[in-house]
Amino acid sequence: MEHVLVTGGAGFIGSQLVENLLRTPCQVTVIDDLSSGQKRFVPKTAKFYKLDVRSPKLKALVKRLKPDYVCHLAAQLSVPRSIAEAAADASINIVGSLNVLEAVKNLSLKKFLFVSSAAVYGQAEIIPTPERASLKPGSPYALSKVTVEQYLSYYGAAYSLPYVVVRPANIYGPRQSATGEGGVVAVFCKKLLNQETLLIEGSGQQTRDFTYVTDLVQGLAAALWGGNGIYNLAAGKEVAIRELVLTLGEVMSQVPRVAYAPERLQDIKRSCLDTKRAASELGWKSNVPLLDGLRQTLRWQKSN
Ligand SMILES: NC(=O)c1ccc[n+]([C@@H]2O[C@H](COP(=O)([O-])OP(=O)(O)OC[C@H]3O[C@@H](n4cnc5c(N)ncnc54)[C@H](O)[C@@H]3O)[C@@H](O)[C@H]2O)c1
């Protein structure tokens, strides 16, 4: 049986990836420091180790576990935090990733999957943005993802390490944190349920490519088992923040109250990914319409 190690496997996306993997005949181990993830999200049938990916203990643990595959998702993902504390961001996202790569480089892994981000494109010139577009990271967070992608290419060549990189767009769904720097969908859902006013930063005309978490997770699994190179994973649909608010209102059967705040520094104006490569090489496409995904997200938030 294949053994898959998932870092960040107690998080929003990681825990749902673990559930997906466990539906196939494989053994799954999670390493997570629970800084934003939750132990209750990790299925009981997965082995769990509470550990920081930067820990000096990581190498011995991974050597003992002898995974066949590694999915690396552990990261800090707040862009504002990455701007305010660039060194802390780099410590987790770059040095942490290097510690994982150092731990696996001589293990003859079958594949290393790195979850990068659409943030690497920054304000892209081509919309929808294909994988070959130039990278214009506009924050330390995005820079950390670009850097790890480049380290991976080095480790791939130097240690014959097979790897695959995925660049997800804005992911939303159950288990996403709505506190602090949670995704805009999670934050808006929570505010709506609490009858609070939604705060739109900027004009609300800025667009995002909202992608439901179970769609993404299916793409991650497809990339792990059969992918090679770099894949955008997204719904491939450009949705303005104002449109998101209207759709949320439709699901809630109420007109949300909205207030406007100044635009965020370096906020990306348009984001939409070209996913033809994932479709042709992985046979993957996103299936869940925004309305349905928002309904599921609200239902989960209500009961949590
Ligand atoms: N959510 C999105 O829209 C989105 C979009 C593109 C890419 N991503 C990437 O997907 C991955 C998962 O993100 P998520 O949305 O599930 O967020 P999340 O915060 O729920 O998951 C991150 C997980 O990593 C763990 N973690 C953080 N630092 C760690 C450390 N030093 N050592 C061990 N574990 C640590 C956290 O406890 C958490 O469980 C991240 O790499 C993120 O950059 C997310």
DSSP secondary structure string for all residues of 151-187:
HHHHHHHHHT--EEEEEE-EEE-TT---STT--HHHH
| Ligand 1 centroid – CA 161 distance (Å) | 23
Distance CA 13, CA 69 (A): 17
pLDDT of residue 264: 86
- Would you report the helix, strand and coil content of the chain in percent, each value rounded to 5? 40, 20, 40
Longest CA–CA separation in the chain, Å: 57
271: tokens are: 């984001």
Ligand 1 within 6 A of CB of 32: yes
pTM flag (> 0.85): yes
pLDDT tens digits, one per residue of 220-271: 999 999 999 999 999 999 999 999 999 999 999 999 999 999 998 778 999 9
Ligand 1 within 6 A of CB of 294: no
Mean pLDDT score across all residues of the chain: 97
If 0-12 CB within 10 Å is exposed, 13-18 middle and 19+ buried, where does residue 61 land? Answer: middle
If 0-12 CB within 10 Å is exposed, 13-18 middle and 19+ buried, where does residue 12 land? Answer: buried
Radius of gyration, CA atoms only, the chain: 19
pLDDT tens digits, one per residue of 120-143: 999 999 999 999 999 999 999 999
Do 214 and 274 meet the contact criterion of CB atoms below 8 Å apart?
Answer: no
Query: Where do the domains of the chain lie, and which CATH numbers do they carry?
Result: 2-170+211-233 (3.40.50.720), 172-209+237-270+288-302 (3.90.25.10)
Q: For a substitution probing ligand 1, which of 7, 31, 32, 165 has the most ligand atoms within 8 Å of its CB?
A: 32
Ligand 1 within 6 A of CB of 10: yes
Across 208-213, average pLDDT? 98
Across 182-193, average pLDDT? 94
Q: Which atom of ligand 1 has the smallest separation from the CA of 116?
A: 7
Which of 121, 141, 163, 231 is labelled catalytic?
141
